[in-house]
Structure 1
Protein backbone atom coordinates (compact mmCIF):
# COMPACT_ATOMS: atom_id res chain seq x y z
CA UNK A 1 0.00 0.00 0.00
CA UNK A 2 2.85 2.35 0.77
CA UNK A 3 3.93 2.24 -2.87
CA UNK A 4 0.46 3.06 -4.15
CA UNK A 5 -0.57 6.63 -4.80
CA UNK A 6 -3.75 7.37 -2.88
CA UNK A 7 -6.70 9.14 -4.46
CA UNK A 8 -10.16 10.28 -3.42
CA UNK A 9 -13.15 10.18 -5.74
CA UNK A 10 -14.83 13.45 -6.69
CA UNK A 11 -18.59 14.00 -6.88
CA UNK A 12 -20.90 16.91 -7.59
CA UNK A 13 -23.63 17.70 -5.08
CA UNK A 14 -27.01 17.54 -6.83
CA UNK A 15 -29.46 17.82 -3.93
CA UNK A 16 -29.28 19.31 -0.44
CA UNK A 17 -31.44 16.92 1.62
CA UNK A 18 -31.40 18.04 5.23
CA UNK A 19 -29.07 19.74 7.72
CA UNK A 20 -27.56 17.81 10.62
CA UNK A 21 -27.66 20.40 13.38
CA UNK A 22 -25.08 18.70 15.56
CA UNK A 23 -22.04 20.60 16.77
CA UNK A 24 -20.90 23.89 15.32
CA UNK A 25 -20.08 22.84 11.76
CA UNK A 26 -23.65 22.16 10.58
CA UNK A 27 -22.96 19.24 8.22
CA UNK A 28 -25.79 18.08 5.99
CA UNK A 29 -27.08 15.02 4.23
CA UNK A 30 -26.78 15.58 0.50
CA UNK A 31 -27.17 13.56 -2.67
CA UNK A 32 -24.44 13.49 -5.33
CA UNK A 33 -24.36 12.78 -9.03
CA UNK A 34 -23.27 9.19 -8.38
CA UNK A 35 -26.67 8.50 -6.79
CA UNK A 36 -25.37 8.08 -3.24
CA UNK A 37 -26.15 10.03 -0.09
CA UNK A 38 -23.30 11.69 1.80
CA UNK A 39 -22.70 13.60 4.99
CA UNK A 40 -21.41 16.85 3.53
CA UNK A 41 -18.76 18.79 5.47
CA UNK A 42 -18.61 22.45 4.47
CA UNK A 43 -15.43 24.41 3.85
CA UNK A 44 -17.34 27.55 4.83
CA UNK A 45 -18.24 26.28 8.32
CA UNK A 46 -16.72 27.74 11.47
CA UNK A 47 -13.32 26.01 11.40
CA UNK A 48 -13.02 26.25 7.63
CA UNK A 49 -10.71 24.03 5.63
CA UNK A 50 -8.78 22.97 8.75
CA UNK A 51 -11.62 20.68 9.81
CA UNK A 52 -11.63 19.11 6.34
CA UNK A 53 -7.86 18.62 6.44
CA UNK A 54 -8.16 16.93 9.84
CA UNK A 55 -10.96 14.76 8.43
CA UNK A 56 -8.78 13.51 5.60
CA UNK A 57 -5.83 12.72 7.84
CA UNK A 58 -8.02 11.07 10.47
CA UNK A 59 -10.10 8.95 8.12
CA UNK A 60 -7.30 7.86 5.81
CA UNK A 61 -4.89 7.01 8.63
CA UNK A 62 -7.65 5.00 10.30
CA UNK A 63 -8.39 3.22 7.01
CA UNK A 64 -4.70 2.38 6.50
CA UNK A 65 -4.68 0.84 9.97
CA UNK A 66 -7.59 -1.44 9.10
CA UNK A 67 -10.27 0.41 11.05
CA UNK A 68 -13.77 0.91 9.64
CA UNK A 69 -14.42 4.42 8.30
CA UNK A 70 -16.88 5.61 5.64
CA UNK A 71 -15.47 6.45 2.23
CA UNK A 72 -14.61 10.13 1.95
CA UNK A 73 -14.88 12.05 -1.32
CA UNK A 74 -14.31 15.53 -2.61
CA UNK A 75 -17.69 17.16 -3.14
CA UNK A 76 -18.20 20.18 -5.40
CA UNK A 77 -20.99 22.57 -4.49
CA UNK A 78 -22.53 24.78 -7.17
CA UNK A 79 -23.37 28.39 -6.41
CA UNK A 80 -27.03 27.69 -7.28
CA UNK A 81 -27.59 25.97 -3.93
CA UNK A 82 -27.08 29.21 -2.02
CA UNK A 83 -29.72 30.97 -4.08
CA UNK A 84 -32.56 28.50 -3.59
CA UNK A 85 -32.14 27.66 0.12
CA UNK A 86 -34.84 29.49 2.18
CA UNK A 87 -33.05 29.26 5.56
CA UNK A 88 -30.74 32.30 5.78
CA UNK A 89 -28.18 30.64 8.06
CA UNK A 90 -27.88 27.64 5.77
CA UNK A 91 -27.89 29.91 2.73
CA UNK A 92 -24.87 31.80 4.09
CA UNK A 93 -23.08 28.51 4.77
CA UNK A 94 -23.73 27.25 1.26
CA UNK A 95 -22.53 30.45 -0.34
CA UNK A 96 -19.35 30.42 1.74
CA UNK A 97 -18.73 26.81 0.66
CA UNK A 98 -19.08 27.11 -3.09
CA UNK A 99 -16.52 24.94 -4.80
CA UNK A 100 -14.60 22.08 -3.21
CA UNK A 101 -15.82 20.48 0.03
CA UNK A 102 -15.58 17.07 1.68
CA UNK A 103 -18.21 14.38 2.15
CA UNK A 104 -18.48 11.01 3.89
CA UNK A 105 -20.60 8.16 2.60
CA UNK A 106 -23.88 8.17 4.55
CA UNK A 107 -24.29 4.96 6.56
CA UNK A 108 -28.05 4.58 6.25
CA UNK A 109 -29.59 2.85 9.25
CA UNK A 110 -26.50 3.15 11.45
CA UNK A 111 -27.01 3.70 15.18
CA UNK A 112 -24.87 5.67 17.61
CA UNK A 113 -22.38 3.56 19.54
CA UNK A 114 -23.37 3.07 23.17
CA UNK A 115 -20.66 1.53 25.41
CA UNK A 116 -23.38 0.19 27.73
CA UNK A 117 -24.91 -1.79 24.86
CA UNK A 118 -21.96 -2.80 22.66
CA UNK A 119 -18.89 -4.51 24.07
CA UNK A 120 -15.61 -3.60 22.38
CA UNK A 121 -12.73 -6.04 22.77
CA UNK A 122 -9.44 -4.87 24.22
CA UNK A 123 -7.54 -4.98 20.92
CA UNK A 124 -10.01 -2.80 19.00
CA UNK A 125 -10.36 -0.42 21.96
CA UNK A 126 -6.56 -0.10 22.13
CA UNK A 127 -6.35 0.53 18.39
CA UNK A 128 -8.88 3.36 18.52
CA UNK A 129 -7.37 4.92 21.64
CA UNK A 130 -3.90 4.79 20.03
CA UNK A 131 -5.23 6.41 16.86
CA UNK A 132 -6.87 9.24 18.79
CA UNK A 133 -3.70 9.84 20.79
CA UNK A 134 -1.74 10.15 17.57
CA UNK A 135 -4.29 12.54 16.06
CA UNK A 136 -5.02 14.39 19.33
CA UNK A 137 -8.71 13.73 18.69
CA UNK A 138 -10.78 15.20 21.52
CA UNK A 139 -14.11 13.97 20.16
CA UNK A 140 -14.48 10.37 21.28
CA UNK A 141 -16.01 10.86 24.71
CA UNK A 142 -19.12 9.39 26.33
CA UNK A 143 -20.92 12.62 25.48
CA UNK A 144 -19.97 12.44 21.82
CA UNK A 145 -18.49 9.08 20.80
CA UNK A 146 -18.30 9.73 17.03
CA UNK A 147 -18.69 6.02 16.48
CA UNK A 148 -21.54 4.17 14.79
CA UNK A 149 -22.73 0.59 14.67
CA UNK A 150 -23.50 -0.36 11.08
CA UNK A 151 -24.03 -3.93 9.89
CA UNK A 152 -22.96 -5.05 13.39
CA UNK A 153 -19.53 -3.46 13.01
CA UNK A 154 -17.98 -0.42 14.69
CA UNK A 155 -17.35 2.51 12.36
CA UNK A 156 -15.38 5.68 13.15
CA UNK A 157 -16.73 9.02 11.96
CA UNK A 158 -16.01 12.74 12.22
CA UNK A 159 -12.31 13.43 12.76
CA UNK A 160 -12.66 17.16 12.15
CA UNK A 161 -11.65 18.05 15.72
CA UNK A 162 -8.35 16.18 15.39
CA UNK A 163 -4.96 17.89 15.00
CA UNK A 164 -6.24 20.84 16.99
CA UNK A 165 -2.72 22.26 17.14
CA UNK A 166 -3.21 23.59 13.59
CA UNK A 167 -5.64 26.25 14.75
CA UNK A 168 -2.55 28.02 16.03
CA UNK A 169 0.74 26.99 14.49
CA UNK A 170 2.79 28.52 17.31
CA UNK A 171 5.17 25.99 18.89
CA UNK A 172 3.75 23.22 16.71
CA UNK A 173 7.02 21.28 16.77
CA UNK A 174 6.93 21.19 20.56
CA UNK A 175 3.27 20.21 20.50
CA UNK A 176 4.14 17.16 18.43
CA UNK A 177 6.06 15.83 21.44
CA UNK A 178 3.36 16.41 24.02
CA UNK A 179 1.19 13.64 25.50
CA UNK A 180 -2.50 13.81 24.74
CA UNK A 181 -3.93 14.71 28.15
CA UNK A 182 -7.56 14.62 27.00
CA UNK A 183 -7.30 10.88 26.42
CA UNK A 184 -8.48 10.53 30.02
CA UNK A 185 -12.01 11.22 28.76
CA UNK A 186 -11.94 8.68 25.92
CA UNK A 187 -14.95 6.37 26.02
CA UNK A 188 -12.87 3.27 25.20
CA UNK A 189 -9.88 3.97 27.45
CA UNK A 190 -10.98 1.55 30.24
CA UNK A 191 -10.81 -1.34 27.76
CA UNK A 192 -7.54 -0.34 26.05
CA UNK A 193 -5.18 -2.85 27.70
CA UNK A 194 -3.08 -3.67 24.62
CA UNK A 195 -1.58 -0.29 23.80
CA UNK A 196 2.05 -1.44 23.64
CA UNK A 197 1.31 -4.23 21.15
CA UNK A 198 -0.85 -1.90 19.05
CA UNK A 199 1.87 0.76 19.12
CA UNK A 200 4.42 -1.66 17.66
CA UNK A 201 2.05 -2.89 14.94
CA UNK A 202 0.71 0.51 13.92
CA UNK A 203 4.09 2.23 13.78
CA UNK A 204 5.20 -0.42 11.28
CA UNK A 205 2.21 0.40 9.05
CA UNK A 206 2.41 4.21 9.20
CA UNK A 207 5.60 4.67 7.22
CA UNK A 208 6.84 8.10 6.09
CA UNK A 209 5.77 7.18 2.54
CA UNK A 210 2.22 6.45 3.66
CA UNK A 211 1.93 9.65 5.69
CA UNK A 212 3.22 11.63 2.71
CA UNK A 213 0.72 9.96 0.39
CA UNK A 214 -2.15 10.94 2.67
CA UNK A 215 -0.84 14.50 2.96
CA UNK A 216 -0.71 14.67 -0.84
CA UNK A 217 -4.50 14.28 -0.90
CA UNK A 218 -4.94 17.74 0.64
CA UNK A 219 -5.84 20.24 -2.10
CA UNK A 220 -3.49 23.20 -2.43
CA UNK A 221 -6.45 25.59 -2.18
CA UNK A 222 -7.06 24.42 1.40
CA UNK A 223 -3.47 25.26 2.34
CA UNK A 224 -3.19 28.88 1.24
CA UNK A 225 -4.76 30.79 4.15
CA UNK A 226 -2.10 30.13 6.75
CA UNK A 227 0.41 32.96 7.09
CA UNK A 228 2.95 30.79 8.91
CA UNK A 229 3.97 29.19 5.61
CA UNK A 230 5.17 30.58 2.31
CA UNK A 231 3.55 27.94 0.11
CA UNK A 232 0.99 25.11 0.19
CA UNK A 233 3.81 22.59 -0.03
CA UNK A 234 5.58 24.05 3.00
CA UNK A 235 2.26 23.92 4.85
CA UNK A 236 1.74 20.28 3.80
CA UNK A 237 5.25 19.34 4.92
CA UNK A 238 4.51 20.76 8.37
CA UNK A 239 1.64 18.30 8.79
CA UNK A 240 3.92 15.48 7.68
CA UNK A 241 6.63 16.53 10.12
CA UNK A 242 4.11 16.78 12.98
CA UNK A 243 2.79 13.25 12.40
CA UNK A 244 6.21 11.72 11.83
CA UNK A 245 7.47 13.30 15.06
CA UNK A 246 4.52 11.91 17.02
CA UNK A 247 5.09 8.46 15.52
CA UNK A 248 8.80 8.54 16.31
CA UNK A 249 7.96 9.45 19.90
CA UNK A 250 4.76 7.47 20.35
CA UNK A 251 6.02 6.14 23.68
CA UNK A 252 5.14 9.55 25.12
CA UNK A 253 1.45 9.39 24.31
CA UNK A 254 1.21 5.64 24.92
CA UNK A 255 2.54 6.04 28.46
CA UNK A 256 0.18 8.96 29.10
CA UNK A 257 -2.76 6.84 27.97
CA UNK A 258 -1.64 3.93 30.13
CA UNK A 259 -1.30 6.20 33.16
CA UNK A 260 -4.74 7.69 32.52
CA UNK A 261 -6.23 4.19 32.25
CA UNK A 262 -4.64 3.12 35.54
CA UNK A 263 -6.24 6.13 37.21
CA UNK A 264 -9.65 4.99 35.90
CA UNK A 265 -9.49 1.33 36.87
Structure 2
Protein backbone atom coordinates (compact mmCIF):
# COMPACT_ATOMS: atom_id res chain seq x y z
CA UNK A 1 0.00 0.00 0.00
CA UNK A 2 1.38 3.39 -1.00
CA UNK A 3 2.18 5.76 1.82
CA UNK A 4 -0.25 8.66 2.15
CA UNK A 5 1.31 11.97 1.21
CA UNK A 6 1.41 14.58 3.95
CA UNK A 7 -0.41 17.67 2.72
CA UNK A 8 -2.76 20.42 3.86
CA UNK A 9 -5.86 21.72 2.16
CA UNK A 10 -6.10 25.40 1.25
CA UNK A 11 -9.29 27.37 1.97
CA UNK A 12 -10.35 30.96 1.41
CA UNK A 13 -11.57 32.90 4.44
CA UNK A 14 -15.05 34.26 3.75
CA UNK A 15 -16.18 35.63 7.11
CA UNK A 16 -14.47 37.02 10.20
CA UNK A 17 -16.74 36.02 13.07
CA UNK A 18 -15.11 37.11 16.32
CA UNK A 19 -11.68 37.61 17.88
CA UNK A 20 -10.46 35.02 20.38
CA UNK A 21 -8.55 37.25 22.74
CA UNK A 22 -5.89 34.85 23.96
CA UNK A 23 -2.52 36.38 24.75
CA UNK A 24 -1.01 38.72 22.20
CA UNK A 25 -1.57 36.65 19.05
CA UNK A 26 -5.27 37.57 18.70
CA UNK A 27 -6.51 34.53 16.72
CA UNK A 28 -10.07 34.63 15.45
CA UNK A 29 -13.03 32.43 14.79
CA UNK A 30 -13.66 32.57 11.05
CA UNK A 31 -15.59 30.80 8.33
CA UNK A 32 -14.11 29.57 5.04
CA UNK A 33 -15.45 28.75 1.60
CA UNK A 34 -15.82 25.06 2.57
CA UNK A 35 -18.52 26.19 5.07
CA UNK A 36 -16.47 25.08 8.09
CA UNK A 37 -15.49 27.27 11.01
CA UNK A 38 -11.83 27.63 11.93
CA UNK A 39 -9.57 29.14 14.55
CA UNK A 40 -7.55 31.43 12.32
CA UNK A 41 -3.92 32.22 13.17
CA UNK A 42 -2.60 35.37 11.50
CA UNK A 43 0.79 35.96 9.93
CA UNK A 44 0.50 39.61 10.93
CA UNK A 45 0.23 38.89 14.66
CA UNK A 46 2.77 38.54 17.44
CA UNK A 47 5.74 36.51 16.21
CA UNK A 48 4.40 36.54 12.67
CA UNK A 49 5.19 33.69 10.30
CA UNK A 50 7.52 32.03 12.82
CA UNK A 51 4.52 31.31 15.04
CA UNK A 52 2.71 29.84 12.03
CA UNK A 53 5.72 27.67 11.18
CA UNK A 54 5.86 26.44 14.77
CA UNK A 55 2.12 25.72 14.71
CA UNK A 56 2.42 23.85 11.43
CA UNK A 57 5.43 21.73 12.39
CA UNK A 58 4.29 21.05 15.95
CA UNK A 59 0.76 20.14 14.93
CA UNK A 60 1.78 17.86 12.07
CA UNK A 61 4.36 16.05 14.19
CA UNK A 62 1.68 15.48 16.83
CA UNK A 63 -0.64 14.06 14.18
CA UNK A 64 2.06 11.70 12.85
CA UNK A 65 2.58 10.46 16.41
CA UNK A 66 -1.09 9.48 16.55
CA UNK A 67 -2.22 12.29 18.83
CA UNK A 68 -5.46 14.14 18.24
CA UNK A 69 -5.02 17.59 16.66
CA UNK A 70 -7.72 19.61 14.85
CA UNK A 71 -7.28 19.54 11.08
CA UNK A 72 -4.95 22.32 9.95
CA UNK A 73 -5.45 24.14 6.67
CA UNK A 74 -3.73 26.95 4.85
CA UNK A 75 -6.14 29.88 4.94
CA UNK A 76 -5.97 32.52 2.25
CA UNK A 77 -6.94 36.05 3.25
CA UNK A 78 -8.00 38.19 0.30
CA UNK A 79 -6.69 41.73 -0.03
CA UNK A 80 -10.21 43.16 0.32
CA UNK A 81 -11.01 41.12 3.41
CA UNK A 82 -11.74 43.11 6.56
CA UNK A 83 -12.14 46.55 5.01
CA UNK A 84 -15.47 46.92 6.79
CA UNK A 85 -14.05 45.91 10.18
CA UNK A 86 -14.74 48.70 12.69
CA UNK A 87 -12.07 47.74 15.24
CA UNK A 88 -8.84 49.45 14.10
CA UNK A 89 -6.61 46.92 15.85
CA UNK A 90 -8.32 44.03 14.09
CA UNK A 91 -8.40 45.88 10.77
CA UNK A 92 -4.62 46.44 10.99
CA UNK A 93 -4.15 42.75 11.82
CA UNK A 94 -6.19 41.71 8.80
CA UNK A 95 -4.32 44.08 6.49
CA UNK A 96 -1.01 42.75 7.74
CA UNK A 97 -2.12 39.16 7.20
CA UNK A 98 -3.10 39.20 3.55
CA UNK A 99 -2.07 36.05 1.77
CA UNK A 100 -1.52 32.63 3.30
CA UNK A 101 -2.26 32.09 6.99
CA UNK A 102 -2.92 28.97 9.07
CA UNK A 103 -6.22 27.78 10.51
CA UNK A 104 -7.39 24.90 12.69
CA UNK A 105 -10.79 23.27 12.54
CA UNK A 106 -12.99 24.73 15.28
CA UNK A 107 -13.99 22.11 17.87
CA UNK A 108 -17.46 23.36 18.74
CA UNK A 109 -18.46 22.60 22.31
CA UNK A 110 -14.98 21.58 23.46
CA UNK A 111 -13.96 22.37 27.04
CA UNK A 112 -10.53 23.21 28.43
CA UNK A 113 -8.61 20.26 29.83
CA UNK A 114 -8.34 20.34 33.63
CA UNK A 115 -5.94 17.80 35.21
CA UNK A 116 -7.94 17.91 38.43
CA UNK A 117 -11.09 16.79 36.61
CA UNK A 118 -9.58 14.47 33.98
CA UNK A 119 -6.76 12.02 34.68
CA UNK A 120 -5.19 11.03 31.35
CA UNK A 121 -3.96 7.55 30.54
CA UNK A 122 -0.24 7.16 31.36
CA UNK A 123 0.69 6.13 27.81
CA UNK A 124 -1.17 9.08 26.27
CA UNK A 125 0.35 11.48 28.81
CA UNK A 126 3.81 10.10 28.09
CA UNK A 127 3.38 10.55 24.34
CA UNK A 128 2.28 14.17 24.78
CA UNK A 129 5.15 14.97 27.14
CA UNK A 130 7.58 13.27 24.71
CA UNK A 131 6.14 15.32 21.83
CA UNK A 132 6.52 18.60 23.71
CA UNK A 133 10.09 17.81 24.73
CA UNK A 134 10.91 16.87 21.13
CA UNK A 135 9.42 20.07 19.73
CA UNK A 136 10.67 22.19 22.65
CA UNK A 137 7.18 23.37 23.53
CA UNK A 138 7.34 25.73 26.51
CA UNK A 139 3.60 26.33 26.63
CA UNK A 140 1.65 23.36 27.98
CA UNK A 141 1.63 24.16 31.68
CA UNK A 142 -0.96 24.17 34.49
CA UNK A 143 -1.60 27.86 33.77
CA UNK A 144 -2.09 27.24 30.05
CA UNK A 145 -2.72 23.59 29.19
CA UNK A 146 -3.43 24.11 25.47
CA UNK A 147 -5.53 20.96 25.47
CA UNK A 148 -9.26 20.46 25.03
CA UNK A 149 -11.72 17.71 25.84
CA UNK A 150 -13.93 17.11 22.82
CA UNK A 151 -16.24 14.11 22.48
CA UNK A 152 -14.61 12.70 25.64
CA UNK A 153 -11.16 12.67 24.01
CA UNK A 154 -8.05 14.77 24.60
CA UNK A 155 -7.13 17.13 21.76
CA UNK A 156 -3.96 19.20 21.44
CA UNK A 157 -4.12 22.83 20.32
CA UNK A 158 -1.78 25.79 19.94
CA UNK A 159 1.78 24.77 19.09
CA UNK A 160 2.92 28.31 18.32
CA UNK A 161 5.44 28.28 21.19
CA UNK A 162 7.36 25.27 19.87
CA UNK A 163 10.81 25.51 18.24
CA UNK A 164 11.60 28.68 20.16
CA UNK A 165 15.22 28.50 18.90
CA UNK A 166 14.07 30.23 15.71
CA UNK A 167 13.43 33.52 17.51
CA UNK A 168 17.16 34.02 18.10
CA UNK A 169 18.45 31.61 15.43
CA UNK A 170 21.69 31.23 17.39
CA UNK A 171 23.42 27.94 18.28
CA UNK A 172 20.53 25.92 16.87
CA UNK A 173 22.70 22.79 16.74
CA UNK A 174 23.34 23.06 20.47
CA UNK A 175 19.65 23.66 21.19
CA UNK A 176 18.72 20.65 19.07
CA UNK A 177 20.70 18.43 21.43
CA UNK A 178 19.41 20.07 24.62
CA UNK A 179 17.75 18.23 27.50
CA UNK A 180 14.89 20.76 27.51
CA UNK A 181 14.71 21.58 31.25
CA UNK A 182 11.38 23.45 30.79
CA UNK A 183 9.68 20.05 30.73
CA UNK A 184 9.58 20.26 34.54
CA UNK A 185 6.58 22.61 34.18
CA UNK A 186 4.55 20.35 31.88
CA UNK A 187 0.99 19.85 33.09
CA UNK A 188 1.04 16.13 32.25
CA UNK A 189 4.45 15.33 33.72
CA UNK A 190 3.00 13.64 36.87
CA UNK A 191 1.10 11.18 34.65
CA UNK A 192 3.92 10.51 32.15
CA UNK A 193 5.26 7.27 33.63
CA UNK A 194 5.79 5.44 30.31
CA UNK A 195 8.19 7.75 28.47
CA UNK A 196 10.93 5.13 28.33
CA UNK A 197 8.51 2.51 27.02
CA UNK A 198 7.09 4.67 24.19
CA UNK A 199 10.44 6.12 23.09
CA UNK A 200 11.14 3.61 20.29
CA UNK A 201 7.58 3.84 18.95
CA UNK A 202 7.84 7.62 18.71
CA UNK A 203 11.18 7.47 16.91
CA UNK A 204 9.96 4.83 14.47
CA UNK A 205 7.09 7.07 13.37
CA UNK A 206 9.32 10.10 12.79
CA UNK A 207 11.41 8.78 9.93
CA UNK A 208 13.76 11.10 8.07
CA UNK A 209 11.39 10.97 5.10
CA UNK A 210 8.41 12.01 7.22
CA UNK A 211 10.31 14.89 8.80
CA UNK A 212 11.39 16.05 5.34
CA UNK A 213 7.77 15.97 4.15
CA UNK A 214 6.63 18.00 7.15
CA UNK A 215 9.28 20.70 6.71
CA UNK A 216 8.50 20.82 2.99
CA UNK A 217 4.96 21.90 3.92
CA UNK A 218 6.25 25.32 5.02
CA UNK A 219 5.19 27.82 2.33
CA UNK A 220 8.12 29.58 0.73
CA UNK A 221 6.76 33.04 1.50
CA UNK A 222 6.76 32.15 5.23
CA UNK A 223 10.53 31.77 4.88
CA UNK A 224 11.18 35.19 3.37
CA UNK A 225 12.41 36.80 6.57
CA UNK A 226 13.38 40.43 6.61
CA UNK A 227 17.09 40.80 7.31
CA UNK A 228 17.77 37.06 7.06
CA UNK A 229 21.12 36.08 5.61
CA UNK A 230 19.89 32.62 4.62
CA UNK A 231 17.72 31.83 1.61
CA UNK A 232 14.24 30.39 2.17
CA UNK A 233 15.44 26.90 1.26
CA UNK A 234 18.44 27.23 3.57
CA UNK A 235 16.10 28.20 6.43
CA UNK A 236 13.89 25.22 5.62
CA UNK A 237 16.95 22.99 5.75
CA UNK A 238 17.82 24.28 9.24
CA UNK A 239 14.38 23.24 10.49
CA UNK A 240 14.87 19.81 8.94
CA UNK A 241 18.34 19.39 10.41
CA UNK A 242 17.09 20.57 13.80
CA UNK A 243 14.48 17.80 13.77
CA UNK A 244 17.03 15.19 12.70
CA UNK A 245 19.37 16.21 15.51
CA UNK A 246 16.50 16.31 17.99
CA UNK A 247 15.63 12.74 17.06
CA UNK A 248 19.25 11.55 17.13
CA UNK A 249 19.78 12.95 20.63
CA UNK A 250 16.30 12.20 21.99
CA UNK A 251 17.72 10.18 24.89
CA UNK A 252 18.87 13.52 26.35
CA UNK A 253 15.35 14.85 26.80
CA UNK A 254 13.91 11.45 27.72
CA UNK A 255 16.28 11.26 30.69
CA UNK A 256 15.39 14.85 31.58
CA UNK A 257 11.69 13.94 31.61
CA UNK A 258 12.35 10.98 33.87
CA UNK A 259 14.51 12.99 36.26
CA UNK A 260 12.01 15.88 36.35
CA UNK A 261 9.20 13.46 37.12
CA UNK A 262 11.14 11.80 39.92
CA UNK A 263 11.75 15.22 41.48
CA UNK A 264 8.03 16.00 41.80
CA UNK A 265 6.84 12.60 43.04
TM-score of the alignment, normalized to the shorter chain, above 0.5: yes
Superposed CA offset, 1:52-89 (max 9, x none): 00111111111011000000000011122231110011
TM-score, scaled to structure 1: 0.97
Deviates more, 1:188-197 or 1:227-236: 227-236
What is the correspondence of 1:36-185 to structure 2 with a 5 Å cutoff? 36-185=36-185
Superposed CA offset, 1:136-156 (max 9, x none): 101110100000000000000
Contact 1:223–1:232 at 8 Å: present in 2 too? yes
Aligned-partner Cα distance in 2 for 1:226–1:97: 16
Superposed CA offset, 1:93-138 (max 9, x none): 0000011100000000000000011110110010000000000101
Match of 1:252, SS state, is helix
TM-score, scaled to structure 2: 0.97
Aligned-partner Cα distance in 2 for 1:261–1:2: 40
Which ranges in structure 2 are unaligned for 5 or more consecutive residues? none
Equivalent residue for 2:238? 238
Matched, 1:11 2:15: no
Give the drift of 1:6: 1.4
Superposed CA offset, 1:225-248 (max 9, x none): 064553211111100100110110
Aligned-partner Cα distance in 1 for 2:229–2:117: 47
Contact 1:82–1:92 at 8 Å: present in 2 too? no
Aligned-partner Cα distance in 2 for 1:229–1:211: 24
